Structure 1
Amino acid sequence: MFKALISLSIAAAIPAVLISGCSDREAAKAAVKGALHKQAEMNAFAFEGGADLHLDGLAEGDSSTLSGQLFSFLKDSRLEWKGAASLNPIRWESDLKAASRSGSAELTVPLLFQDNKLFFHMPLLNPENEYFVTTLGLPPESPASAGNKSGPDSKPSAPPVPERLSRLSSDLSKLLQEGADEAWFETDGEVRLADGSDARSYTASVTRMSAGAWNKKLQEKLPRMLEVLKSNGLITETQAAQFRRSASSFKLSAPGKWTVVVDKEGFLRKLEMDFKFTGPKGNKSSASAQTFSFHQTFDAVNRVPEFRKPLPRQTKSVDEVLKRLVSGGEQ
């Protein structure tokens, strides 16, 4: 009789545990979704991040174009960045450090966006205190942009680089959130942020059990991901077509994770991605494992940013160089 009661108690408890677990996972995904959408309310913030790319199995970029040379350098490199941003008015500054994994090349590039102009210093090309400068279009929806239209057939200017980078991060994260199953999410618990406040961490993991489902979702979302990359000028239509043809070669493998940290006000404060996958053969004799690690933190959300870089006085136009970089040399 006693054993029967124990068995009955366990049987009754199992559905409750499953329901509770399901509810927790649904809440975790809902919190992540809310934080990603709340990014639109982040008008000012400090940021810091980095990426570790090991994508040497991918095909080399076209060495005759700047975008191809940049892709060939970045696909097997370590990146770090730190800065501050304000979206009203738009101002953005950071220092970008890039180093090849082999250690054969290293680059530190100061960047500043202000008054609708992008300034950046290339150590190998600019003398000390000189910056390249280019004028970028205002966002299509901004009043200033609307006032610059000369007629009904005028095309809106392209959004400035900081807005495009912010939108790229947001769009890719939203695609991940759309494709991720609730069953993959877990609430990690409370964490302490750099400013001393509390936040909650959520993780969607790639495990041996879930890798197949992740890959199915990846194949479904890959065309939209490529469109996001193409619309933000990171790949050309030719490159997008090459990726589409080899889409079935991309497969995630365990372990992997996507972690989002959300503060008490619902703002995204930290984003981490750590994925391992196999890609096309590229220049290798066989498909090889690739890794992609990324992290970004947001602090001082909606506070007055602490900008430190003065507006450069010595500048040199680089419009033609940037045109080649965005178009990939295609006319």
Structure 2
Amino acid sequence: MNRPYALLRTLALGSALLTASGCTDHELLKQELQQAAAKQEQIKTYRFSGHAELALDASLFEGMLPMTAALLSLFKDSRIEYKGAASLEAPIRMEADITVKPKGADAIELPLLLQDNKLYIHIPALNPSGEYLLFPLQESEKLQNTGRLSALLSERLLQGVKPEWIEEAEDTPPADAASKRRIISVTKKNQQEVEAYLSSVLPALLEEMVKNGLGTPAQAQEWTSAAGRLQIQPPGSLALEISKDGYLEGQEGKLFLSTDAHPERQHGITWSYRTTEINQPVGFTREIPAKVKTAEDLMKGLPAPK
């Protein structure tokens, strides 16, 4: 064989391999996310923490009932932090501490407990110290399907995501060096495609939520209609972390929206969510409150409608 030709061919092959090794396999990245999403069904116990920051324009609440609009307006510029623990094995139990920090106002602490098919929450504006609101859960057995539902919703959401939307997060490594971090981005280039995809998949996601007791068909229709009036604005992103054990253990996102009625006004949401101690023993500490008030008790204390 001609030695110069052989050398040239070897160099060409080596260059091709180097080029290929430097390319991102977007299909593989998507498969990794889908496999991690499917594994969510195996999660039975865990601790969780996270936050959400809201920067919403008041125009978002136009057309709502006055009381609803007034309540939501309290949180239009706020930070919400939460942490807690959950067990999805019967009997289902969850405890959480939620802190709402409205801009320019004092923080609001909302301790919560779900136990024995009852939800207890202390709301300072409605309850004196030590008292909790009590809400019986009519279909609490469906909460045992939370892991399966989480896996199903994640799989459905990822199913139609285009592989080229997914990248490796090289600039922001995961909290755990053994984990993998993947980013789905909304850019000017794919904005319309992402928006069209989310609009097409939302009804199916809401249908699954209704089947599992999270809302009614009427509410699902209302949410779909409301979402149809929103437009996604770039830049946006969703970073997902896959643990060394293959679970979706964390996410960070930012989303900017506008509405048909006021396209010039932007609404921003950023959030994070992390699970730890997956399928490890959970040491719950919150006890069932001794003093409770039901929704009926609360209504009795309100003035009669005129």
TM score, norm. by length of structure 1: 0.73
Contact 1:276-1:290 at 8 Å conserved across structures: yes
* Counterpart position of 1:90: 92
For residues 213-232 of structure 1, what are the structure 2 equivalents within 5 Å? 213-225=193-205, 227=207, 232=214
* Counterpart position of 2:65: 62
Q: Secondary structure at the match of 1:304?
A: coil
* Counterpart position of 2:260: 280
For residues 38-187 of structure 1, what are the structure 2 equivalents within 5 Å? 38-56=39-57, 57-60=59-62, 61-64=64-67, 70-88=71-89, 89-100=91-102, 102-104=103-105, 106-139=107-140, 142=141, 159-160=142-143, 173-187=154-168
Q: How many residues align?
A: 285
CA deviation profile, 1:52-96 (whole Å, cap 9, x unmatched): 12232413431345xx55444444432111000011131100011
1:306 has 2:289 as partner:
no
Q: Secondary structure at the match of 1:265?
A: coil
In 2 relative to 1, CA 64–289 (structure 1 residues): closer, same or farther, beyond 3 Å?
A: closer
Give 5+ residue unaligned stretches, structure 2: 300-306
Contact 1:208-1:255 at 8 Å conserved across structures: yes
Deviates more, 1:123-132 or 1:226-235: 226-235
* Counterpart position of 2:240: 260
In 2 relative to 1, CA 98–299 (structure 1 residues): closer, same or farther, beyond 3 Å?
A: same
Contact 1:118-1:136 at 8 Å conserved across structures: yes
Q: Secondary structure at the match of 2:199?
A: helix
* Counterpart position of 2:192: 212
Contact 1:261-1:269 at 8 Å conserved across structures: yes
In 2 relative to 1, CA 26–70 (structure 1 residues): closer, same or farther, beyond 3 Å?
A: farther
1:236 has 2:209 as partner:
no
Q: Secondary structure at the match of 1:36?
A: helix
Q: Secondary structure at the match of 1:21?
A: coil
In 2 relative to 1, CA 199–320 (structure 1 residues): closer, same or farther, beyond 3 Å?
A: farther
Q: CA RMSD in A?
A: 3.5
Residues in 2 aligned to 1:11 and 1:55: alpha-carbon distance in whole angstroms: 53
Give 5+ residue unaligned stretches, structure 1: 143-158, 323-331
Residues in 2 aligned to 1:291 and 1:305: alpha-carbon distance in whole angstroms: 35
Residues in 2 aligned to 1:301 and 1:312: alpha-carbon distance in whole angstroms: 27
* Counterpart position of 1:326: none
* Counterpart position of 2:273: 296
Residues in 1 aligned to 2:224 and 2:251: alpha-carbon distance in whole angstroms: 29
CA deviation profile, 1:228-281 (whole Å, cap 9, x unmatched): 67762398367336426xx2x533232211111011111111011211232232
Residues in 2 aligned to 1:316 and 1:277: alpha-carbon distance in whole angstroms: 38
Give the aligned residue type for 1:304.
P
Contact 1:179-1:218 at 8 Å conserved across structures: no
Q: Secondary structure at the match of 1:310?
A: coil
* Counterpart position of 2:304: none
Residues in 2 aligned to 1:70 and 1:41: alpha-carbon distance in whole angstroms: 37
